[in-house]
Amino acid sequence: MEKIKSKIVFISGAGSGIGKACAEKFAENGAKLILCSRNIDKLIKVAGEINKKYDTDILTYQLDVRDRQKVKTVIDELPKSWRKIDILVNNAGGALGMDKFQAGSIDDWDEMIDSNVKGLLYLSRNIVPLMIENNKGHVINMGSIAGTAAYPNGAVYCGVKAAVKLISDGLRMDTVDTPIRVTNIQPGMVETNFSVVRFHGDKERANKVYQGLKALRAEDIADIVYFSASLPVHVQICEVTVTPASQASATVVHRQ
Ligand code: 8X3
Q: Report the mean per-residue pLDDT for the chain.
A: 97
Q: What is the pLDDT confidence band of residue 102, given thresholds at 50, 70 and 90?
A: very high
Contact by Cβ (8 Å): 165, 147: yes
* Domain extent listing, the chain: 8-242
Atom of ligand 1 nearest to the CA of 157: 6
- What's the average model confidence in pLDDT over 36-48? 98
Catalytic status, residue 151: no
Note the pLDDT tens digit of each residue in 150-198: 999 999 999 999 999 999 999 999 999 999 999 999 999 999 999 999 9
Angle 159-120-128 from CA coordinates, rounded to 5°: 135
CATH class given for the domain over 8-242: alpha beta
Strands 138-142 and 181-187: parallel
80 is catalytic: no
**pLDDT score of 77:** 97
Rounded-to-integer distance, Cα 185 and Cα 140, Å: 7
- How, if at all, do strands 181-187 and 8-11 pair? unpaired
Neighbours of 152 (CB within 10 A): 12
Residue 207 contacts residue 199 (beta carbons within 8 Å): no
Q: What is the DSSP letter of 146?
A: G
Q: Predicted confidence band at 2 (pLDDT cuts at 50, 70, 90)?
A: confident
Residues with CB under 6 A from ligand 1: 144-146, 187-189, 250
Model confidence pLDDT, tens digit, residues 215-236: 999 999 999 999 999 999 999 9
Q: For 251, phi and psi rounded to 5 degrees?
A: -110, -10
